[in-house]
Chains A and B, each alone.
Chain A
């Protein structure tokens, strides 16, 4: 490894717990971004049984471009009637939600605050699709963007390379979308509530060859929130890790796995003191269906080259060996950028507390993975039900 830095020493990390979780329904929403964030914030505070936290961390990727508003730490604490509380805004592109989670976690673990309200949200469905794609695409390397590379274009290159290397098939990739739509149909918070057939996915129009429309996540609005606390609660943060890679895809030596996920996973497992074998349920970043398969392997949840087949055989379904994205994932629950990572934590929290309704699975340990940009800045979070 080059310039890897020293591995962090986790012996001094104090226990941090999730005492409250809440989110809005994801999808096309008419409310403003501050109103959506407030809806999630009050749900999480009520769930935690507190009126106000000691501090706020707001995850937001591109609110200036999407909504025209800025200064989001202050905008949100004022909107919530908590203007006297410290607030800051955190951003790591499409993984901003878990970046905000990490910031709140670090503050509680360090003893700086007892209760931190972590918020994430995005509002973009009011803009035309090409405009949204262009704004999200600004997270791509500027030189590579001059070639018309959008997120779907880079995902198309990666998908083709993965199919070539591992013999991954379009059918296996498409099954990710089918499975996630099936799960979302049981989730009242999901953007899409209808199942889709394998044929419909495979016959949808080509977006970035070989990726088709139904392999790509939708444009969603929404917000999610958690309260992190230093006092014991039903769900503990077992581990969290960050991993990075060059924003320039041309500087990477391998297209078919994401170093940023692998490094983040290693850090999270090290902090937790256990490995992938203890993970019972996962929420993964399927911005493009092939990314769920790549991520299963990067996280050590499936052997390299096996995740496609396992998906087709139902191993990742709600009733499978390892349920993946019971919420419906980015594809069907929706992907309001900075809300997504926190939304994953909210779903895992509900799963671990046995509050996930029709999509409940048996789980003691849950893993969330969030991809920032084209896997330039990724996060892995491990949550554990208190014994």
Chain B
């Protein structure tokens, strides 16, 4: 399951989204309204801790992810191998902890297909995802 949503909140004044939902907009102090956001986004940055705090396994992989719509959230991951700043990831909530996983080419293609299907633009989406897959594949060899 790669495409679902996560609970969020939105500021009625500036439309800023935050995850998890917060009572007040960080920028305006305005009361926020409940919303939901797609669970896919890009890695903003990540690190691996080799002496994590008590109660966490070592090594501990932590990423800051920006979801579509702009909300950022911290996640744990199984590994950071192959992860880069800008990598496409999906985020899942497992027992109230967010986990990110790198979206492979097949996942991205399926996601484009599903979204395009709703809009009836399958052909365009397939070619777009193929091109993106090629570009990502080519750049993944870089350090």
Contact assessment for B26 and A161 in the assembled complex, using a CB-CB cutoff below 8 Å: no
Mark contacts of A99-143 with chain B using CB atoms, 8 A cut-off: 1 yes-contact digit, 0 otherwise. 000000000000000000000000000000010011001000001
In whole angstroms, how far apart are the Cα atoms of A233 and B76 in the complex?
A: 54
Interchain CA distance A144-B54 in the complex, whole Å:
15
A130 B54 Cβ-Cβ under 8 A? yes
A157 within 8 A of B: yes
For chain B, residues 49 to 74, give those with C-beta under 8 angstroms from any C-beta of chain A: 49-56, 60, 62, 64, 71-74
Across-interface contacts of A211 in B (CB, < 8 A): 47
Residue of B47, B55, B85 near A164 (CB, 8 A) is B85
Which residues of chain B (7-57) have a CB below 8 Å from chain A? Answer: 14, 18-20, 26-29, 44-56
Instruction: Please pick, from B26, B50, B62, B80, the residue contacting A147 in the complex, using a CB distance under 8 A.
Output: B62
**CB <8 Å contact, A149 and B74:** yes
* Pairwise interchain contact B72-A150, C-beta atoms closer than 8 A: no
B73 and A3 form a contact (CB under 8 A):
no
- Residue ID in chain B nearest A246 by CB atoms: B26
Q: Is the CB of A148 within 8 A of B62?
A: yes
B90 to chain A minimum Cβ distance, whole angstroms, is 17
Determine if B49 and A143 form an interchain contact, defined as CB atoms under 8 angstroms apart: no
With A148-B60, A157-B45 as contacts: A250 and B74 at CB distance below 8 Å: yes
Asked whether A259 is an interface residue with its Cβ less than 8 Å from the other chain, the reply is no
Contact in complex: A3, B27 (CB < 8 Å)? yes
CB distance from B63 to the nearest CB of A (A): 8
B57 to chain A, nearest CB (A): 9
Contact A208/B47 with A2-B27, A148-B62, A161-B85 known, Cβ cut-off 8 Å:
yes
The answer to the question of A323 belonging to the interface, with a C-beta cut-off of 8 Å to chain B, is no
Q: Which 6 pairs show the lowest CB-CB distances between chains A and B?
A: A156-B47, A148-B56, A161-B45, A2-B27, A250-B72, A157-B45
CA distance A252 to B80 in the complex (A): 23
Task: Report the minimal beta-carbon distance from B86 to chain A, rounded to whole angstroms.
Answer: 8
Q: Are A148 and B29 in contact (CB under 8 A)?
A: no
Min CB–CB distance B36 → chain A (angstroms): 17
CA distance A227 to B60 in the complex (A): 46
B125 at the interface (CB under 8 A from A): no
Flag if B85 contacts A206 (CB, 8 Å). no
Of the candidates A3, A160, A251, the one whose C-beta lies within 8 Å of that of B46 is A160
Interface presence of B75 (CB below 8 A): yes
- B1 contacts chain A at the CB level, 8 A cutoff: no
Tell me which residues across on chain A come within 8 A of B97, comparing CB atoms.
146-147
Measured between beta carbons, the chain A residues less than 8 angstroms from B26 are: 246, 248, 251
Q: How near does chain A come to B96, taking the closest CB pair, in angstroms?
A: 9
Determine if A209 is an interface residue (Cβ-Cβ < 8 Å). Answer: yes
Q: Count the A residues whose beta carbon is within 8 Å of the partner chain — how many?
A: 35
- Is there contact, CB below 8 Å, between B53 and A209? no
Complex Cα gap A378–B22 (Å): 25
How many chain B residues touch A (CB < 8 A): the figure is 33
Asked if A75 CB lies within 8 Å of chain B CBs, one says no
- CB of B47 within 8 A of CB of A157, answer yes
Min distance, Cβ B137 to any Cβ of chain A, angstroms: 20
Cross-chain contact A157 with B62 (CB below 8 angstroms): yes
Q: Of B19, B28, B54, B80, which contacts A134 at CB under 8 A?
A: B54
* Given known contacts A147-B74, A150-B53, A250-B74, A255 and B44 CB-to-CB distance under 8 angstroms: yes
Evaluate contact between B47 and A153: CB separation under 8 angstroms. yes
| Contact of B29 with A207 in the complex, beta carbons under 8 Å | no
Complex Cα spacing A371 to B51, Å: 23
Complex: A133 Cα to B53 Cα, angstroms: 8
Task: Indicate whether A372 reaches chain B with its CB closer than 8 angstroms.
Answer: no
**Whole-angstrom CA separation of A143 from B72 in the bound complex:** 13
Q: Are A157 and B64 in contact (CB-based, < 8 A)?
A: yes
Q: Which positions 58-80 of chain A face chain B at CB distance < 8 Å? A: none
**Contact, CB under 8 Å: B49 / A148:** yes
- B7 CB, min distance to chain A CBs, angstroms: 14
> Does A217 sit at the interface, judged by CB under 8 A?
no
A2→B46 CA distance, assembly (Å): 28
Q: Are A148 and B53 in contact (CB under 8 A)?
A: yes
CB distance from B88 to the nearest CB of A (A): 16
Interface residue? A152 (CB, 8 A): yes
Do A209 and B47 have beta carbons less than 8 Å apart? yes
